[in-house]
Amino acid sequence: MRLHPDVVSTDTDDGTVLLNERTGRYWQLNGTGAHVLRQLLDGHGPDDIAAGLAERHRIEPSLAERDVSAVIDQLHTAQLVIA
């Protein structure tokens, strides 16, 4: 997965901001969303990302899987990433 060519990202104290330079629209990801995006861009799969989040935050793996899936769906829907 990679960022859409029109999208640039900037890390902030609270997460990451993504800007689509063609449309001028921007999105802000919280710390967890930013972590998921970075992991995806580094080539990690959703299952591995969810397992790491579940362990780090001591939550049920199914909850972490659902959250990672939601972030991925939102990134695709907003056309911020390309598979």
Q: What is the pLDDT of residues 32-58, one digit of tens each?
A: 999 999 999 999 999 999 999 999 999
- Domain containing 12 equals 2-82
* CATH code, domain with 75: 1.10.10
Q: What's the pLDDT tens digit per position in 2-25? A: 999 999 999 999 999 999 999 999
Q: Which letter, b or e, does each residue of 50-66 get, where b requires 16 or more Cβ atoms within 10 Å of its Cβ?
A: bbbbbeeeeeeeeebbe
Answer with the residue of higher pLDDT: 83 or 48: 48
Q: What's the pLDDT tens digit per position in 64-82? A: 999 999 999 999 999 999 9
Mean pLDDT of the chain: 97
